[in-house]
Amino acid sequence: MSKVLFIKASPLPNEVSRSSQVAETFMAEYKAKNPSDTVEELVLYNTEVPLLDLELMTAGRELQAGKAFTDLAPDVQKRLNAYNALTEQFLAADKYVFVFPLWNLGIPPLLKAYIDTFVIAGKSFRYTEHGPEALLKDKKAILIHGSGGIYSAGPTSSFTHGEPYLRTILQFIGINVVPSIFVEGIDHNPSKEAEIVAAAKAVAQESATEF
């Protein structure tokens, strides 16, 4: 039995977000094929995701220097508890399903803030004399990525820092990232929206049976 963490990184409701619709198709098929697995859904835009800022970095250094957690300011304790809860939730999962849009050739800022909660030295990777070593080598992930243009291949593929960035950071900590599902090109060809979404859903159903 596997524990799946379904991470939604779009503020748009499902009826508006085409990539979320495809992700729901993926999850429905996955649940049907793996009824004994547990699925936990994390909607980032409905979740407190603390930003890694000066306050949290200072608190981390103070704790490393021996300061008691209870001696931190109450609001800092609250933020650290929320931060650490996201870290532990991520580490406890076996599989990850990310659904996210391409914004200005990158990822949504809240997704980047979330990434910072689990890419942590000593937790998901460690430094060695031979360089960084991944610690999450027995886990896998799939990325479901939406974009108005076409960036998965062709002349614009080198422009994007969305799917390639998330794939790279997950691989850096040892996670096996299977082929991504792209929901793309609708803004280029609005008349083909239904066709594009249907094709992506078909890929999602097939991918779910193998995930």
Binding site per annotation, positions: 10, 17-19
CA distance 147 to 189: 12
Residue 182 φ then ψ, to 5°: -105, 135
Write the burial class of residue 124 (CB in 10 Å: 0-12 exposed, 13-18 middle, 19+ buried).
Answer: buried
What are the tokens at 179?
A: 């082929």
CA distance 134 to 122: 10
CA distance 90 to 79: 17
Report the phi/psi class of residue 5: left, alpha or beta, with left for phi > 0 and alpha for psi in -120 to 50: beta
3-state helix, strand, coil in the chain (%, to 5): 45, 20, 35
For the annotated binding site for FMN, the residues are 10, 17-19
Residue 206 φ then ψ, to 5°: -65, -45
CA distance 100 to 9: 5
